[in-house]
Structure 1
């Protein structure tokens, strides 16, 4: 039975509108230090229960932030949202909980809360009901508005969605809560990815007449989720709605995150084939994206995302894997100048991790591979997580066919990576590259897999969530490598090692089944 929320609780929630968070690195704030947030680090169920007990006792909501040190979007939040002084001053009204993906037990907590992608932010009531998932891709002022929506309404998002689907009357704020819900980090709690476009379109239709911006946002999200036209069938009215948003600086700014992150999908859904309709839409997007790119009220990361969308649209009818796409010289010039300016001006380490990694990707997207490599190499010493940049260098080399160089970067990235979940992730990436690029190097392949299984044995969360997926990648690559039994001896030794790891996992724990399923019993060839 769900507890009703008292007026005192609602008052406390409403008073906490201007939440802020400091960097998770400063988890233990000194008493009376107004410059930081007193984050509570959670590494297990006991930590979570303690936090919710405090929240219920103090009639405060809980904000759970799931992230990682290296994660560029997480660093973007630290650079733009978590350091806001007005947020920090109000954060006393919340119980702020941080789950670092590399803490012991963190991946098991990820399974409990259905979180996978970094970053994920979830707002809970004091009774531990999930009110909403906050969209990390929007700018800081918009995140604040979404918090306002969640705190003002207070009903769990599942209840709100169920009422909307049943045709029950919702208030304007609840419709906005649905429009700004982080569907990308939903993890199929509300809807499966394949059903998402249709649901969002259904909500857009049902919200008509309540608030035009909300309806527009739902339509844009539906279009962006439609997987090249599969899910939403646009008509002239919808095309006109999108054109009106692109023509309005204020509306485009309000819908910035959807327009920049979903530009290519929106265009392909509205105009599936090249022609006059698509050309008109592309021209409208170009104008709007240029405005957003020049809008200094947005963060550097958001402005760079607008430029990235311009490049993606310019590549729309070219092969996806084209290394040297045909782009207008003016656009290439914009890319070079924009990235160079960001590299020159950024002084904050968190912002650098978020923006420079995006800049290197953007340079590669524009076919400027040498400049992408140079940017990454120049920033290795400036990054608090250089292994992320090393992985990008490996990816650059791999795309260009430089296999040995790619493997060197992937290996160094693995060696330099820190934290149990991160090491399994980086290690699995290196291992996959080894199998694909150097399948003949049986000794190194076996040695790397053995090292990963040894590290998994020391991590209590190794067979949950992100870590489990990393190990499943290793298992799948091993099985494909030995598909014809040609490496049965090596895989047999690895399976024996893994069996020893699995035997130490509690039989009542579903980790055991995950572990035991990683490697098929090898059959010798012939």
Structure 2
């Protein structure tokens, strides 16, 4: 089907088909006395009532955020426990959310932070674990005698001695959403391994293993082995976890998401160490993919891990074995049919589509995503998957059509900036000679930024930074100077309207310089 016809049909579907879960998924998770918007007022209430404050920072479209809503916030145990703290729900598209995000040094959705009434951060809670473990981590935080930064400082000391609960809090801390405020990302893997060694010496074996896994996860994907990171220590800990089904289950959240980066980091191709690791990891993932005690999304992620391991020694164009492909089709179909909760579907369908793509089943991924456009409360998120599939096929026209539709349909200022910048940068990469189109879309994005409060903070600032960087790279040969000059001037005018004392003014002016190269 031609992209233009496809675009018209999709638009018609979105206009006429009912969004069956829209009301459910745009509403706040029920049963909890969520505070919204004014975080300072919430802290004042926390101080007045001597209660901790629980901050959730997320987005309507974000699959992991929806997973948290479907598996944690809806649990009666969490609802009842919420009476012990002041719960604050901060949507990333609300007016001051990005400014608050910068204040609390959050980098991704979802981020969940527990504070003392005076604003001292106690800990950051992991969003990937199951409800039972989440409640354990929450209880540790609510009963903590020391905030995590103090436990970290003490845990890094030679001959460290912490309580069992302190070691567990460090092992369960959400380092991927809080690493930059406690430890620089470059030194995080080595620091976590130091904590792991000290925990083992301090008779905390389970936290020691988990800290080792988190150190390996933090190192995964690095071009070079991070400073202070010990590969044998990481491999030994990983093998020890994989050899024990109870340890596998206790650390499933790390194991299901890291095999593609960790196996090449820790072992060499063709070696006995690689063969042993792949076999043990695959066995663990097979068990997790059929474990009904974890969520549907996590089971699908475990299946994705199996696909990763199966592809390690295959040529790029080599097909996976038919039984594995059938397993993917069966698992995706079952998940699609069984998942009726609107929050959960946003997460499940996203991961199911990823599984199909990993398996090389792009057409089936397309069919799944297109069907979800009429069901999802945030269909623009799934349009990005359709764009990516088209780009993988080399169909740049269809890819750009989907990126445009996604941006057009996107809701919320921070989301629209992120989607708009993505569209511009894909125009630059896939249609680099279309200066007029690049200028038209980028100009619209800059205009929206100028009309948005707090557009030059946190995620929105990082989105606009990608726009500036993309334009400078596009114009590195000076073939698009007129377009870039026009856009840089427009952005400069936006900056000039910001108060001189506003930190956003400097952020904005830095983008102008970056765009000009």
TM exceeding 0.5? yes
> Looking at both structures, which has the greater relative contact order when contacts are Cα pairs under 8 Å and sequence separation is at least 6?
2
Alignment of 1:35-54 (within 5 A): 36-42=31-37, 47-54=38-45
Aligned partner of residue 230 in structure 2, secondary structure: coil
Q: Which moved more, 1:240-249 or 1:71-80?
A: 240-249
Question: Could you tell me which residue of structure 2 aligns to residue 137 of structure 1?
Answer: 128
For structure 1, the 5+ residue unaligned runs are: 1-22, 30-34
- TM-score under structure 1 length normalisation: 0.88
Offset at residue 121 of structure 1 (A): 0.4
Query: Could you tell me how far apart the structure 1 residues matched to 2:107 and 2:345 are?
Result: 24
Q: Kindly report the root-mean-square deviation, in angstroms, between the aligned alpha carbons of the 2 structures.
A: 2.0
Question: Could you tell me which residue of structure 2 aligns to residue 346 of structure 1?
Answer: 339
Tell me, yes or no, if the aligned pair for 1:428 and 1:474 is still in contact at 8 Å.
yes
Query: Could you tell me how far apart the structure 2 residues matched to 1:249 and 1:337 are?
Result: 25
Question: Could you tell me which residue of structure 2 aligns to residue 298 of structure 1?
Answer: 294
Aligned partner of residue 381 in structure 1, secondary structure: coil
Question: Could you tell me which residue of structure 2 aligns to residue 203 of structure 1?
Answer: 195
Offset at residue 105 of structure 1 (A): 1.6
Query: Could you tell me how far apart the structure 2 residues matched to 1:522 and 1:453 are?
Result: 12
Query: Could you tell me how far apart the structure 1 residues matched to 2:309 and 2:299 are?
Result: 16
Query: Could you tell me how far apart the structure 2 residues matched to 1:280 and 1:484 are?
Result: 49
Question: What per-residue deviation string (whole Å, max 9, x for no partner) do you get for residues 15-68 of structure 1?
Answer: xxxxxxxx88444x9xxxxx51111112xxxx2221111111111111000000
Question: Could you tell me which residue of structure 2 aligns to residue 270 of structure 1?
Answer: 266
Query: Could you tell me how far apart the structure 2 residues matched to 1:316 and 1:128 are?
Result: 46
Change beyond 3 A, Cα 1:345–1:88? same
Tell me, yes or no, if the aligned pair for 2:346 and 2:376 is still in contact at 8 Å.
yes
Q: Which moved more, 1:60-69 or 1:281-290?
A: 281-290
Question: Could you tell me which residue of structure 1 aligns to residue 103 of structure 2?
Answer: 112
Q: 1:180 aligns with which of 139, 160, 172?
A: 172
Q: In proportion to residue count, which structure has more helix? A: 2
Tell me, yes or no, if the aligned pair for 1:485 and 1:522 is still in contact at 8 Å.
no
Offset at residue 483 of structure 1 (A): 2.7
- TM-score under structure 2 length normalisation: 0.90
Offset at residue 118 of structure 1 (A): 0.3
Offset at residue 251 of structure 1 (A): 1.5
Change beyond 3 A, Cα 1:84–1:409? same
Query: Could you tell me how far apart the structure 1 residues matched to 2:236 and 2:503 are?
Result: 51
Question: What per-residue deviation string (whole Å, max 9, x for no partner) do you get for residues 298-318 of structure 1?
Answer: 110111111111111122245
Q: Which moved more, 1:96-105 or 1:481-490?
A: 481-490
Question: What per-residue deviation string (whole Å, max 9, x for no partner) do you get for residues 386-420 of structure 1?
Answer: 00000110011112210000000000000000000
Q: Which moved more, 1:258-267 or 1:124-133?
A: 258-267
Query: Could you tell me how far apart the structure 2 residues matched to 1:430 and 1:521 are?
Result: 19
Deviating beyond 6 angstroms after TM superposition, the runs of 4 or more aligned structure 1 residues are none
Q: 2:114 aligns with which of 123, 128, 144?
A: 123
Alignment of 1:309-328 (within 5 A): 309-318=305-314, 322=316, 324-328=317-321
Offset at residue 129 of structure 1 (A): 0.6
Query: Could you tell me how far apart the structure 1 residues matched to 2:264 and 2:177 are?
Result: 23
Query: Could you tell me how far apart the structure 2 residues matched to 1:193 and 1:329 are?
Result: 40
Question: Could you tell me which residue of structure 2 aligns to residue 233 of structure 1?
Answer: 230
Question: What per-residue deviation string (whole Å, max 9, x for no partner) do you get for residues 276-319 of structure 1?
Answer: 22112211111111111111011101111111111111222457
Question: Could you tell me which residue of structure 1 aligns to residue 69 of structure 2?
Answer: 78
Q: 1:510 aligns with which of 478, 485, 503?
A: 503
Tell me, yes or no, if the aligned pair for 2:468 and 2:515 is still in contact at 8 Å.
no
Aligned partner of residue 512 in structure 2, secondary structure: coil
Change beyond 3 A, Cα 1:499–1:244? closer
Tell me, yes or no, if the aligned pair for 1:103 and 1:419 is still in contact at 8 Å.
yes
Question: Could you tell me which residue of structure 2 aligns to residue 288 of structure 1?
Answer: 284
For structure 2, the 5+ residue unaligned runs are: 1-23
Tell me, yes or no, if the aligned pair for 1:40 and 1:96 is still in contact at 8 Å.
yes
Offset at residue 460 of structure 1 (A): 1.3
Question: Could you tell me which residue of structure 2 aligns to residue 161 of structure 1?
Answer: 152
Q: 1:453 aligns with which of 446, 451, 456?
A: 446
Question: Could you tell me which residue of structure 1 aligns to residue 10 of structure 2?
Answer: none
Tell me, yes or no, if the aligned pair for 1:478 and 1:519 is still in contact at 8 Å.
no
The answer as to 2:401 corresponding to 1:408 is yes
Offset at residue 240 of structure 1 (A): 5.2
Aligned partner of residue 90 in structure 2, secondary structure: strand
Question: Could you tell me which residue of structure 2 aligns to residue 9 of structure 1?
Answer: none
Offset at residue 196 of structure 1 (A): 1.3
Aligned partner of residue 138 in structure 1, secondary structure: coil
The answer as to 2:356 corresponding to 1:363 is yes
Question: Could you tell me which residue of structure 2 aligns to residue 193 of structure 1?
Answer: 185
Offset at residue 481 of structure 1 (A): 2.7
Query: Could you tell me how far apart the structure 2 residues matched to 1:48 and 1:470 are?
Result: 24
Tell me, yes or no, if the aligned pair for 2:469 and 2:514 is still in contact at 8 Å.
no
The answer as to 2:480 corresponding to 1:487 is yes
Query: Could you tell me how far apart the structure 2 residues matched to 1:483 and 1:224 are?
Result: 35
